[in-house]
């Protein structure tokens, strides 16, 4: 017997019962709700995917395939999260959804916005069940975190691989807003939400006194100004007789700017805010604001007004960290030049049916009458049918086909979403459309006499032609670098405006990388040349963006902050300055073709240096495009020279240009040669043989196993016997088996061949007691060229006692930069042997002590030197963000990346200037000779 399909209202009630409060996130019902949506979409007969751009915050994407998938598709967007509900203000449990006697569907999310989720789905079901087939693909999208700004919901989806797979998109339905009038209200734009905090500082003192300019009085003054502005806006909204909150008859809510004070914090407390010392004036007060800026109010004007409100001494404001505020308005055209508007308007005129609903979106006792809910399905069914049927006229389709065969860079830009400065298209990069590289010397992009053919790491086809600069072509680079004096392009006494300018460049570049198209451009380009999963490539772009945002505004000149010390007599003082080196060089490897060169390059430029940049030619096209973007952001074109060449030619160029400092990231063998050739004027951020120790305490098993699965980021794992008994090795084998070539969670190794890696495995297996833990085989059914490596994730177990023996130790600690690691086991008696192994290692970049045992941590940390060491049960060796030092230790040449300390250490030196201006005492005489 066929099971009867659930009625829409019953389905809606089920949906409302999921407690998907956005602030509760994964601790609520996100995962269960998303699973429910996935099953619901599958039942309708749609192709459905569920994925999490941010861990535990799933997105559900369902697709109804149309007659012509090449036509731009339509998105029906809705969100499944809701705002919090305070139970004491509700007549019934807000998550025990029910239909009341008067026909109202009662529950949190009834209006905002779970109703629309179900209405979209049911309208699609009706159309599909009737035999209707859309002309184009239709995508139903259900996202989390809309109620808190969407930073980890829609924003992450827009840069996710799945969003790229459904391109192009012609039109997107958002959720709209409930409306109490007898006319449909169409929203063609959105007020720009600004969530920000205002902080005031002031003097403290006893509450019995009249203390002036206190923090709380400043906050009250600002709140009063905000409320006065709010009153002006509310008066304008209610100017027409009969208007009330949200009434759409005449003036609309979107026509005015709303201001709400949503948080107040101050007081002196010693118990976390349960009680306060009411007789003490607090030194700090904070107010939080929710402002929705109308398109009728220029955002710059509002910012100026906010700056004026906060102009008092000791007052500042900043955006809430989780927000992504707009700085300009975006609206859709609502005239007949917009074909989608024209179709939509015609469908609404055809319907002629009013729908009424009182606006209770974020209020207590939220509800929606079931007749209104069901009528909404009718409305969407009519509108969507018309929209799905439209196909552009033949002549316009022919024009669109020009997308497929651009004749030049300008043509490519004209018919795609490529950034204006881009010269390659990651989506088309192939043997049929090879990318072309250029050198940059003294502000000019130039070719070399010959080129190097770079093969596609996925199939061996030539897909890049990069300059192969020869010794005879080095003179322009030598001359260009010679133009930069030892005292740099700027320093604390010269061209100081350039510090400010680079703060502006960094700000513009960070903003540009916030554009989903630009971020996806670089993530895709990274994937093409250094194959890794989209998630990994996207993280590289995101970390770089955050670095650029960190050094916006005055942060660049703060890097050059000086200090002074009083002298021995009047008129004497010593001052310490951070001084540039002048001409410097930067050489970076293949594995992070975007993050490493950008962070190091900008650090060098911030401090006043001119940079000679070389990136591994297999991936240097990424940095070529980034330099073009930086030029578009205002970076002077002559500040960086960019060369593609072999290692020996670059070595020759370094000897000719004699850079005052060179930062090298890569092979320790090459690093040692450069250190000798450059007379020690070098900083090293070597690749490193990185280790991880699993301590005696076993907990968070799956999480620790997941971190150990990142085998390209660690070279050896010392597992305490407790972890071995818990089944860690078996779990790691299971996790490794998940990694596939088709999603690039395992892929080509650009510096080590398959034979080299498998030979290394065989050599290790000859050590007594060694065995293959997993892997040890070439990838199946691949087209990766033989010049690269292609093996399954691999681990070899080597007994600790055998590993420490002469000959075996050098073999077991040989770095293989690929999906390979060594396992070994120890117990409490053998900790000294583990420490002995760590002491004998030569590279000291990253390490991890996976334990919450404080005494164990202390033992390991006190006997090791790795420059970036992660400790605690969540310790990983893969974290290389922008917010902490990343670099080796134990070496005078050790360099770092990302932080102010790293930038100052690597790209500047200390200069002391002692000022001694007198006066000389009138009774001073020349002393006796000494």
Q: Which residues are catalytic?
A: 685, 711
On the 0-12 / 13-18 / 19+ scale of CB atoms within 10 A, 333 is exposed
Interior CA angle at 812 toward 810 and 817, to 5°?
Answer: 105
**Which distant-in-sequence residues (6+ apart) come within 8 Å of 644 by Cβ?**
437, 439, 448, 452, 466, 467, 468, 469, 614, 617, 620
**Phi, psi at 658, each rounded to 5°:** 50, 60
The pair of three-digit structure tokens given for residue 645, joined into one six-digit string? 């060449």
In the sheet that 104-106 helps form, which strands lie side by side, from edge to edge?
98-99, 104-106, 367-369
Residue 431 structure tokens: 């043997």
- The two three-digit tokens of residue 545, written as one number: 């963006």
CB 902 within 8 A of CB 885: yes
DSSP per residue, 790-839: -B--EEEE--HHHHTSTTHHHHHT----SSEEEEEEE-GGGHHHHHHHHH
3-state secondary structure of 654: helix
Cis peptide before 349 (omega within 30 of 0): no
Q: Which two tokens stand for residue 225?
A: 């100004």
Residue 762 has phi, psi (to 5 degrees) of -60, -40
Q: Which residue has the tokens 């830009």?
A: 413
DSSP states of 174-239? -------SSS-----B-PEEEEEEEEEE---EETTS--SS-HHHHHHHHHHHHHHHHHHHHHHHT-
Return the closest-CA partner of residue 587 out of 618, 611, 621: 611
771/769 Cα distance (integer angstroms): 7
Residues sharing a CB contact under 8 Å with residue 631, sequence separation 6 or more, in sequence order: 421, 637
Tokens of 20: 């998907």
CA 770 vs. chain centroid, Å, equals 41
H or E element in which residue 116 lies: helix 114-129
Q: Is 259 exposed, middle or buried (0-12, 13-18, 19+ CB in 10 A)?
A: buried
C-alpha–C-alpha distance, residues 664 and 661, integer Å: 10
Contact indicator for 581, 608 with CB cutoff of 8 Å: no
CA dist 73 and 56 (Å) reads: 28
| Surface-to-core class of residue 642, CB atoms within 10 Å of its CB (0-12 exposed, 13-18 middle, 19+ buried) | buried
Lookup: tokens for 14? 């089920």
Q: Which residues contact 216 (CB under 8 A, 6 or more apart)?
A: 200, 202, 266, 281, 282, 285
Distance CA 81, CA 61 (A): 15
Helix or strand holding residue 107 (H, E)? none
């Amino acid at each position: 017997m066929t099971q009867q399909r659930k009625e829409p209202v019953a389905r809606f009630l089920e949906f409302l019962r999921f407690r998907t409060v956005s602030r509760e996130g994964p601790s609520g019902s996100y995962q269960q709700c998303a699973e429910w949506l996935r099953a619901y979409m599958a039942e309708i007969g749609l192709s459905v995917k569920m994925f999490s751009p941010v861990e535990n915050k799933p997105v559900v994407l369902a697709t109804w395939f149309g007659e012509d998938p090449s036509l731009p598709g339509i998105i029906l967007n809705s969100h499944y999260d809701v705002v919090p509900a305070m139970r004491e203000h509700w007549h019934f449990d807000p998550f025990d959804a029910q239909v009341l006697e008067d026909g109202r569907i009662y529950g949190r999310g009834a209006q905002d916005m779970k109703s629309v989720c179900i209405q979209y789905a049911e309208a699609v079901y009706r159309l599909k069940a009737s035999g209707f087939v859309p002309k184009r693909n239709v995508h139903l999208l259900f996202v989390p975190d809309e109620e808190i700004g969407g930073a980890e919901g829609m924003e992450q989806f827009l840069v996710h691989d799945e969003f790229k797979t459904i391109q192009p998109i012609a039109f997107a339905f958002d959720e709209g807003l409930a409306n109490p009038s007898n006319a449909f209200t169409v929203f063609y734009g959105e007020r720009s939400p600004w969530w920000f905090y205002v902080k005031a500082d002031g003097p403290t003192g006893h509450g019995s006194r009249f203390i002036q300019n206190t923090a709380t009085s400043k906050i009250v003054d600002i709140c009063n100004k905000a409320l006065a502005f709010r009153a002006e806006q509310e008066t304008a909204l209610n100017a027409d007789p009969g208007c009330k909150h949200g009434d759409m008859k005449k003036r609309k809510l979107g026509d005015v700017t709303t201001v709400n004070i949503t948080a107040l914090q101050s007081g002196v407390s010693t118990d976390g805010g349960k009680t306060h010392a009411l007789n003490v004036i607090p030194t700090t007060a904070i107010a939080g604001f929710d402002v929705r800026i109308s398109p009728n109010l220029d955002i710059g004007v509002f910012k100026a007004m906010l700056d004026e409100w906060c102009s008092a001494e000791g007052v500042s404001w900043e955006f809430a960290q989780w927000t992504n505020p707009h700085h300009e308005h975006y609206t859709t055209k609502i005239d007949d030049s917009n074909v989608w508007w024209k179709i939509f308007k015609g469908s609404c005129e055809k319907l002629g049916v009013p729908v009424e609903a009182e606006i209770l979106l974020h209020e207590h006792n939220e509800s929606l009458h079931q007749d209104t809910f069901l009528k909404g399905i009718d409305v969407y069914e009519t509108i969507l049918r018309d929209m799905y049927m439209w196909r552009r006229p033949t002549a316009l389709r022919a024009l669109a086909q020009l997308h497929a065969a651009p004749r030049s860079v300008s043509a490519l830009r004209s018919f795609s979403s490529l950034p204006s400065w881009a010269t390659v298209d990651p989506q088309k990069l192939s043997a049929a459309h090879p990318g072309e590289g250029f050198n940059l010397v003294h502000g000019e992009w130039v070719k070399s006499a010959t080129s190097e053919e770079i093969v596609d790491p996925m199939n061996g086809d030539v897909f890049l032609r990069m300059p192969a600069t020869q010794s005879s072509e080095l003179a322009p680079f030598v001359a260009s670098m010679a133009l930069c004096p030892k005292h740099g392009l700027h320093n604390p006494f010269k061209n100081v405006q350039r510090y400010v300018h680079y703060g502006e460049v960094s700000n513009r570049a960070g903003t540009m990388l916030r554009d989903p198209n630009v971020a996806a451009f670089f993530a895709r380009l990274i994937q093409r040349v250094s194959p890794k999963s989209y998630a990994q490539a996207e993280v590289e772009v995101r970390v770089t963006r955050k670095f650029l945002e960190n050094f916006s505004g005055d942060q660049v000149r703060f890097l050059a902050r000086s200090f002074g010390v009083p002298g021995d007599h009047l008129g004497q003082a010593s001052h310490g300055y951070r001084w540039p080196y002048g001409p410097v060089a930067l050489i970076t490897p293949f594995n992070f073709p975007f993050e490493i060169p950008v962070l190091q390059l900008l650090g060098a430029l911030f401090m006043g240096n001119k940079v000679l940049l070389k990136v591994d030619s297999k991936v240097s096209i990424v940095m070529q495009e980034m330099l073009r973007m930086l030029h578009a952001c205002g970076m002077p074109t002559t500040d960086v020279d960019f060369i593609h060449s072999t290692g020996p030619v670059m070595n020759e160029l370094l000897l000719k240009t004699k850079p005052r400092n060179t930062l090298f990231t890569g092979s320790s063998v090459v690093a040692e040669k450069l250190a000798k050739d450059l007379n020690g004027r070098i900083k090293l951020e070597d690749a490193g043989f990185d280790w991880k120790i699993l301590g005696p305490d076993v907990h968070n098993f799956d999480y620790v196993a997941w971190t150990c699965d990142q085998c390209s980021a660690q070279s050896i794992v010392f597992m305490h016997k407790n972890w071995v008994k818990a089944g860690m090795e078996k779990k790691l084998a299971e996790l490794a088996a998940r990694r596939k070539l088709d999603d690039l969670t395992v892929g080509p190794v650009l510096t080590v061949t398959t034979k080299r890696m498998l030979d290394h495995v065989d050599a290790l297996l000859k050590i007594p007691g060694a065995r293959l833990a997993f892997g040890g085989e070439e990838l199946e059914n691949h087209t990766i060229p033989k010049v690269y490596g292609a093996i399954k994730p691999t681990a070899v177990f080597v007994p600790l006692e055998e590993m420490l023996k002469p000959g075996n130790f050098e073999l077991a600690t040989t770095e293989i930069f690929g999906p390979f690691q060594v396992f070994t086991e120890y117990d409490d008696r053998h900790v000294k042997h583990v420490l002995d192994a760590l002491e004998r290692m030569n590279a000291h970049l990253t390490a991890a002590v996976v334990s919450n045992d404080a005494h164990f941590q202390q033992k390991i940390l006190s006997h090791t030197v790795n420059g970036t060491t992660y400790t605690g049960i969540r310790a990983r060796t893969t974290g290389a963000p922008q917010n902490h030092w990343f670099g080796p230790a134990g070496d005078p040449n050790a360099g770092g990346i990302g932080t102010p300390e790293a930038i100052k250490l690597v790209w500047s030196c200390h200069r002391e200037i002692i000022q001694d201006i007198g006066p000389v005492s009138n009774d001073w005489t020349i002393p006796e000779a000494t």
